[in-house]
Amino acid sequence: MKVLAITQARYGSTRLPAKILKEVNGQTLLEIHLRRILQSKTIDKLKIATTDEEGSKFIVEVADKVGVEYFKGSVDDVLSRFYGTAESEKPDYVIRLTSDCPLIDPNVIDAVVTFALEHPEYDYVRTDAKSFPDGLDTEMMKFSALEKAYNEANLKSEREHVTAYIWKNGSADGGTIYKTYNYPNPEGSFNADDYRITIDEPEDFEVIKHLIENLGIDKRWKTYIDYLINHKEIYAINSKFANNEGYAKSIANDQIIK
């Protein structure tokens, strides 16, 4: 059973350009992100799905430093880029991660993977957005489910957001094409709208920088969230931002493109 982890990483960003290449204590957020993923005990391989933009050379430099392979693909058709990254590996399952989650937790990855492997009836399993803080997003899908989405998704929003077609048509959201499951946080509910350890805005970087400088890069997610709970002044820096703004924008400008 081959489990391939893919993280999306691009240089361009509307709200915070080159955000994943910002440094804290001499390491880029992308390097921190990759090294945390590599602590997972359940993945067989990690690859980066990046773009053919000029700035991607800086992402490649980090990939080479850490020893992670990469694939370059479309800027706008992210589903195509993600599928292209996976296709040559012929995995049984693919994990989707995103590099705007520098403090992604390998224990969360392992929990989702273990659940999915123990419940092969599900085509797709993801961390429940209602009970996990934003910044721990982990999605596990059968390669066959990804391939079906690649072949059938025809809306702009479904091509810009890799798994939109899957979860929209998944049983957890009332769909009939896929059998899907939202994996609940076993450590209690932490509303994603309340706590952010992701990076989309300059304020997010302030929070991530503070957490890393004060706690290091090797803690479990709960340690970082507990810190925010106990330091309201740090929590308040980025608490005003809503999640999934990019997807909401895609929906507002949706159209059939395939």
Q: What is the pLDDT of residue 232?
A: 95
**Least confident range of 186-190, 212-216, 223-227:** 186-190
Q: What is the pLDDT of residue 242?
A: 73
Is residue 234 over pLDDT 80?
A: yes
Is residue 83 over pLDDT 90?
A: yes
Please give the backbone phi and psi of residue 140, each rounded to the nearest 5 degrees, phi first.
-125, 125
Residue 38 located in a structural domain: yes
Domains: count for the chain = 1
Average pLDDT on 124-130 reads 94
Q: Which helix (H) or strand (E) holds 38?
A: none
Residue 52 located in a structural domain: yes
Please give the backbone phi and psi of residue 229, each rounded to the nearest 5 degrees, phi first.
-60, -40
Q: What is the pLDDT of residue 187?
A: 85
Residue 258 located in a structural domain: no
DSSP letter, residue 196? B
Residue 37 located in a structural domain: yes
User: Any idea which residue has 């001499």 for tokens?
Assistant: 26
Per-chain mean pLDDT for the chain:
92
What type of residue is 161?
Answer: H
Q: Which helix (H) or strand (E) holds 226?
A: helix 221-230
Residue 138 located in a structural domain: yes
Looking up residue 125, the CATH number of its domain turns out to be: 3.90.550.10
Residues of the domain holding 84? 3-252
Q: What is the pTM of this model?
A: 0.92
Q: What is the pLDDT of residue 217?
A: 97
DSSP letter, residue 249? H
Beta-ladder partners of 180: 124
Q: What is the pLDDT of residue 73?
A: 97
pLDDT tens, position by position, 134-164: 999 999 999 999 999 999 999 998 999 999 9
Give the pLDDT band of residue 17 (cuts 50, 70, 90).
confident
CA distance 30 to 97: 12
Q: What is the pLDDT of residue 175?
A: 96
241 vs 134, higher pLDDT: 134
Asked whether 30 and 20 are in contact (CB, 8 A), the reply is yes
Give the pLDDT band of residue 133 (cuts 50, 70, 90).
very high
Residue 20 located in a structural domain: yes
Q: What is the pLDDT of residue 197?
A: 96
Residue 257 located in a structural domain: no
- Other C-beta atoms within 10 Å of 2: how many? 13
Is residue 37 over pLDDT 90?
A: yes
Give the pLDDT band of residue 16 (cuts 50, 70, 90).
confident
- Give the residue from 136, 142, 138 showing the smallest Cα distance to 119: 142
Is residue 250 over pLDDT 60?
A: no
